[in-house]
Amino acid sequence: MQETLQTFKYGFHVIFHPFDGFWELKHHKKNTSSAALIWLFLVSLVTIARIQFSSFVFGTTVKEETNILLNALINVVIVGAWTVMNWALSTLADGKATMKQIWVATIYAQIPIVLLQIPIILLTHVLTAEEGVFIMLLYNIAQLWFYALVLIGNITIQDYTMTKTVIMALLTFAGIIAAVFLLSVLMSVLMQLYRFFATIYAEIMFSF
């Protein structure tokens, strides 16, 4: 538990000293999976908090019509998809990271989102719509910080150059989109088959 807590707190070092931080996470820090799960939970928690507690002036969804758990799980699915696809492609491109290391690095890259979402939520209650530019500034900083950490994390744990890292990131995005498309086609085919056999079954039962 103590080692998990230390590795969890090490996340603050990672986001400000990413090259050293990700290297340490890969080679020396223990219980990285447990610490990463805590951070992943916090990302889901701030996602729920943003939906539930942001001022209606800056709200982008109707709270009563929003599935909170679904929104929280979307991030988990995205992290999982990125991890699997990035690992699958990197194994073909001389990558040095394991699936676990990619998963941990991706979650730690989201720490700025956790830290900056809290002041963003608070600012929605004190700023007017005209002053919303400051909220957008914080939001954009969090996103750019996250993207930069993902790239640096991949450079460090995969032992890639910046160019190769960017190429692999684009291929990973393309792979995820292709996988989602194929999954959608498969689900559509399965639904059509289900309706076909359900119709046949209904006709047979009706004939008797």
Residue 2 has what pLDDT? 78
The pTM of the full predicted model, rounded to 2 decimals, is 0.86
Residue 201 has what pLDDT? 73
Rounded Cα gap, residues 201 and 89, in angstroms = 44
Rounded Cα gap, residues 55 and 203, in angstroms = 54
Residue 61 has what pLDDT? 58
Segments forming the whole domain that contains residue 63: 2-207
Listed as ranges, residues in the chain with pLDDT below 50 are none
Residue 58 has what pLDDT? 64
Q: Any idea what DSSP says for residue 95?
A: -
Residue 95 has what pLDDT? 87
Residue 33 has what pLDDT? 87
Structural domain count, the chain: 1
Rg (CA), the chain: 21
Residue 65 has what pLDDT? 60
Nearest of 59, 122, 109, 55 to residue 82 by alpha carbon: 109
